[in-house]
């Protein structure tokens, strides 16, 4: 099997990583951001076309306000300070989710880096922020109805997803040992291959990422048919 076109990652375990070391949870998020940089570069070099990263779910608002605010400021620092990471690797940045509910400064930060990497024609790095898979489908249905669609087919619904051109997910990686997909890319995951690791996200490495890709290449995907 060839290399996956679209890889998604649920970057889980930052809080547990920090707790094991007697550190505040925010330090786990800070370390996790460093790993994100490494994996974006690694995925780009492997020839992956789309890398979707679950950065903040619609359910994450339930976390302490201080932690949520830290995460938003960390994301803002990331997009303001890491532009060269994307430009040097010819990676286009996209943000996906209910972005209009985020703080204005973060919306502006996302818009700026999207515009500055618009010309990049290598990998597309999709950061899912304030994202929920079910919510994306509901939002798409409501937009389709508002647009006057009389009958909603798969093709029509896809037109109203947050990023209509985002292809189906080939491989979903989840760190930290949890065995669930947590409402991530529900529409895109009908036939995705799953790969789980007990490694916490701040300890995840390029080598382990490559291991997941190699495992995917050995699998036989039938999509409901017979080979």
Catalytic, 69? Answer no
The span from the CA of 26 to the CA of 167, in Å, is: 33
Catalytic site residue from 2, 12, 89, 90:
12
State the binding site for substrate. Answer: 13-17, 25, 29, 57-59, 61, 63, 174, 180-182
Q: Do residues 30 and 74 touch, judged by C-beta distance below 8 A?
A: yes
Catalytic site residue from 2, 60, 90, 142:
60
Catalytic, 12? Answer yes
Geometric angle at alpha carbon 192, from 190 and 196, rounded to 5° = 130
In angstroms, what CA-CA distances link 152 with 72, 114, 136, 140, 190?
35, 30, 15, 10, 18
State the binding site for Mg(2+). Answer: 12, 193
Residues involved in catalysis: 12, 60
């Amino acid at each position: 099997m060839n290399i996956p076109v679209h890889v998604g990652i649920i970057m889980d375990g930052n809080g547990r990583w920090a707790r094991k070391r007697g550190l505040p949870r925010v330090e786990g998020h800070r370390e996790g951001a460093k790993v994100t940089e490494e994996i974006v570069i690694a995925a780009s070099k492997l020839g992956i076309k789309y890398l979707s990263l679950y950065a903040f779910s619609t359910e994450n608002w339930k976390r302490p306000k201080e932690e949520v605010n830290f995460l938003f400021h960390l994301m803002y620092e990331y997009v303001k300070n890491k532009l060269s990471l994307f430009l040097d690797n010819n990676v286009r940045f996209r943000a996906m989710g209910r972005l209009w509910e985020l703080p204005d400064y973060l919306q502006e930060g996302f818009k700026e880096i999207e515009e500055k990497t618009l010309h990049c024609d290598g990998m597309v790095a999709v950061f899912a922020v304030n994202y929920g898979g079910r919510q994306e489908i509901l939002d798409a249905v409501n937009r389709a109805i508002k647009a006057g669609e009389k009958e909603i087919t798969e093709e029509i619904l896809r037109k109203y997803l947050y990023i209509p051109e985002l292809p189906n997910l080939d491989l979903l990686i989840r760190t930290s040992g949890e065995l669930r997909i947590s409402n991530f890319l529900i529409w895109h995951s009908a036939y995705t291959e799953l790969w789980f690791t007990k490694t916490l996200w701040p300890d995840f490495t390029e080598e382990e990422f490559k291991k997941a890709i190699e495992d995917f290449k050995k699998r036989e995907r039938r999509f409901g048919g017979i080979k």
